[in-house]
Chains A and B, each alone.
Chain A
Amino acid sequence: MTAEPSASSDNAGAASGRPEVTFLLRFAVVSAVLCSLYAFPYSPDAGIHGFITRYLAAYAEAAGAVVRLFDPGARVSGAEIFGRFSLRIVKDCDAMDVNILLVAAVLSFPASWPRRILGVITGLAVVMLANLSRICALYFIGFSAPRTFEFAHRELFPLLLVLLAGGFFLKWARSVRASEPVTASDVAA
């Protein structure tokens, strides 16, 4: 039997005892903190700035490796991919926003820590693979259908990534609920 809420608007008082409210609050806090840490305008002299630059270069190298499977003439320099079309990997190209939202959702969901960690690792791997495919697809769209590049880059692929991350989270949460009973600490913590 599922607990049925009453139809009245009494939820303000009862809200604090509801697990979905706890989940939403945790999700909001974790995602806001992680998004802010990533988007903070670090000084160019700060160590983290150099780390992000190296990370984006590594991302471009990985994307370039995928592109080279289909276009051996493509090459990578720093965070840029050159070839029949040039792509520059900047902060928004690494799907970090989607990664952060997925990680925040998994970490906020009432589940055991091993399951959460497994969910985070699997989720990040899935989104990263999808994003590398996205960059590869954008490279080919860039020289074969340049008029659709902006739509694919700004609207279609972000939508697909959000759908993928949302779908992954729902599937993971369902599998957790099916195999793991809700514990006192999960609900009340």
Chain B
Amino acid sequence: MLRREASAKRSAALALVFLLACLAPWPRLGALYSSVWCSLLEAVFGDVRFASTTSMHFMPGSAALLRGRENPFWHVVVALSSSSTGATTQFAVNLRAIGYVPDVTFLALVLAWPFDRRPSWRPVVAGFGLVQAYFLLSLALPILLTLSSERVEAIELDPVEDALARTAFGAFVVPPAMSYAVPAIIFTAVVLLGSAGPARTPGLDENRLPTSGIRRLWLGIKRRRRALAVK
């Protein structure tokens, strides 16, 4: 038990060191990260048109484009151009906050899991996919809100949809702590629900269940699982 706790503490310390090392201001990492994502986003969404007149393009952030902004190289500039009016609306999204930090937090948590109890790769991959879904949602919400704004008016959101988008943006994208909390919650969920993670039933000791009915229910679930495993 003590050895397991020591192993867990060692892994957690390693993960924290890994996370802090990733958060260090590595030269050119931001430019590389944003240009990779820009190429991907441009390849997938570059041809998408809204209301048949508004096109969307992604450009890597630069000091010239984003004067006075912290970490310009970590940003992606989204340009919405209207072919009918000729106007272009641009805004920047910080990829470090919505993509890079959640990614490295999730990887740090995978490292933090004690070596002798590593979850299987499937839930980890699924969790990483969910972190990418969070990234895409965090990117999509400001685009959606700008597309529906008075400046662009490429799409129309009814008041309920608009309130929902603003609430989701304010609740899950804007707060800085969400960059850590969302991947941590996703990791906890996939480890708890994952098929091979021994931490699926943390501390639920059937001998300590005081009610015989609950104990019977618990043993029933176990028996059913065993039967399914045999099949």
Contacts and interface: CB of A to CB of B under 8 A. Distances in A.
A161 interface: yes
B18 interface: no
A162 B211 contact: no
B167 A41 contact: yes
B189 interface: yes
30 contacts: A1-B206, A2-B204, A2-B205, A4-B201, A6-B225, A8-B195, A8-B229, A10-B229, A13-B228, A14-B221, A14-B224, A17-B217, A19-B201, A20-B201, A24-B188, A38-B171, A39-B171, A41-B167, A97-B178, A98-B177, A151-B25, A155-B101, A155-B179, A158-B179, A159-B23, A181-B208, A181-B209, A182-B214, A187-B204, A188-B217
- Residue of B174, B175, B228 contacting most chain A CB atoms (<10 Å): B175
B202 A11 contact: no
Interface residues of B, number: 55
Considering the complex of A and B, which 8 residue pairs feature the smallest CB-CB distances, nearest first?
A39-B170, A39-B171, A6-B229, A35-B171, A97-B175, A184-B211, A10-B228, A158-B176
Interface in A1-40: 1-11, 13-15, 17-21, 24, 27, 32, 35-36, 38-40
Given A5-B225, A14-B221, A92 B175 contact: yes
A83 interface: no
Given A5-B201, A8-B229, A15-B193, A36 B171 contact: yes
B166 A41 contact: yes
Given A8-B229, A159-B180, 18 more contacts: A3-B205, A9-B195, A10-B195, A10-B225, A13-B224, A13-B228, A20-B204, A36-B167, A39-B170, A40-B166, A40-B170, A41-B163, A97-B171, A153-B176, A158-B177, A159-B23, A162-B180, A188-B214
Interface of B: 19, 23, 25, 70-71, 97, 101, 163, 166-172, 174-181, 184-185, 188-189, 192-193, 195-196, 198, 200-211, 213-214, 217-218, 221-222, 224-226, 228-229
Contacts, number: 154
Nearest to A96: B175
B195 A11 contact: yes
A157 B208 CA distance: 39
Contacts of A188: 214, 217
Contacts of A17: 217, 221
A39 B171 CA distance: 5
Interface of A: 1-11, 13-15, 17-21, 24, 27, 32, 35-36, 38-41, 91-92, 95-98, 101, 150-151, 153-156, 158-159, 161-162, 166, 177, 181-184, 187-188
B19 to A, nearest CB: 7
Contacts of B168: 36, 39
